[in-house]
Amino acid sequence: MTRQLELRVLTERFAVARLEPEAAVPDWAGGEVTCIARTPSELSIVCAQDLVPDSVRSNRPWRCLEVAGPLDFSEIGILSSLTATLREAEISVFVFSTFDTDYILVREDKLVMAMASLEKAGHRLRIDD
């Protein structure tokens, strides 16, 4: 690993929801961290799991690791160094990025294993209270 990264483990539990591509962004899409992505085949929403109605197709519970930023666009290998470590630990991820940083979601039942793997690889983690 070439760079030690700091990650913040968010306390909120997340859901990844799927709506039809033409659906309007719903009022319930919110929380501390929210990601909305529209493609020709779907509208995907990552948000606080407690906000997603039971009637909406979703996958949950996920926990979120936020890479301390802001990160510069010229930086190379940030996500690959993290996801390679998690791949070696056989931990599936869901990733999204913003202008300033990257977010990695791991299944809640894999969070402790993910944290241990990342710390062993030299990264620093802190958990929100």
Q: Classify domain 6-122 at the CATH superfamily level.
A: VC0802-like (3.30.2130.10)
Q: Where are the domains of the chain?
A: 6-122
**Tens-binned pLDDT, residue by residue, of the chain (129 aa):** 457 899 999 999 999 999 999 999 999 999 999 999 999 999 999 999 999 999 999 999 999 999 988 787 877 778 999 999 999 999 999 999 999 889 999 999 999 999 999 999 999 999 876
Taking CA atoms, 70 is separated from 1, 45, 58, 82, 98, in Å, by 20, 23, 30, 16, 10
Q: Give this prediction's pTM.
A: 0.91
Query: For residue 89, with 0-12 CB atoms within 10 Å meaning exposed, 13-18 middle and 19 or more buried, which class applies?
Result: middle
The Cα 50–Cα 115 span in angstroms is 24
Structure tokens at 80: 């690959």
